[in-house]
Structure 1
């Protein structure tokens, strides 16, 4: 019986200690898209990405215009077909058709390659920015002694990771300050 009482007391002390430790943990929340939108690096990276994307689109548009011109030439050539020139014009039309099919495949390949290059460029530009923001968030959390920081922003179409929160400290402004962003700046 004495062992049972001792075991009960030890268990009660452990539960009290554990609940005390949980009660002392600090929680905070943040709105990371707001911070990212205000970082000057994001604006510069967005402009670079848009310029890069436009260059790729211009290349595809040039190829598409070339295909359109060749297609219209083939249509015009088809109107000149007669019994006398049927064989010659027929061969020319077959060659034009082969060229159009080849050009169409090259346009598809160029589109796929451009999409991949734009995605790679986006990753190259935005990964260091995301790392900088994450490092600032972690630094503020450590400085302020937070055990958990919840991001209240959810990606479109996804359920937020935080369903309910009551209070907590919003460290968005602290992270803005850490990144050198004016507290009055609006996205």
Structure 2
């Protein structure tokens, strides 16, 4: 851990340049991906990632609390998104043991994700992956995992694990 002093460790000119680039990426990429999803399939990025996370699960279900953690959405935001996805017939909420609620991906939801994925992957490739060498992309992914691990320890491990989603 960095030592706390009264004088901040200011960024060098090069660090500031790189930091500004990172901030620009974090500000520009999400709206660009969101616009593509809205235009091509009527989903926003958050809704797409809710469907994608559920599709990653063997039974296509997760506890709402787990889904909230995986998507980094507040319970309220997740509840609103799931309600919209329910109205569309893409998700069902079902009560489970211990007063727990599971979100279940429906067959219609799986079809919607399959329909949305090709255009989304094309946009991800166009905006990020195809611009970088494999080494640059690997370094970007590794750097992202380190930063996320500093902010939310264990979150990346949880994202990469498949859980049953049972209460």
If asked which structure has higher relative contact order (CA below 8 Å, sep 6+), I would say 1
TM over 0.5: no
Q: TM-score, structure 1 length as denominator? A: 0.28
Structure with more of its chain in helix, by fraction: 1
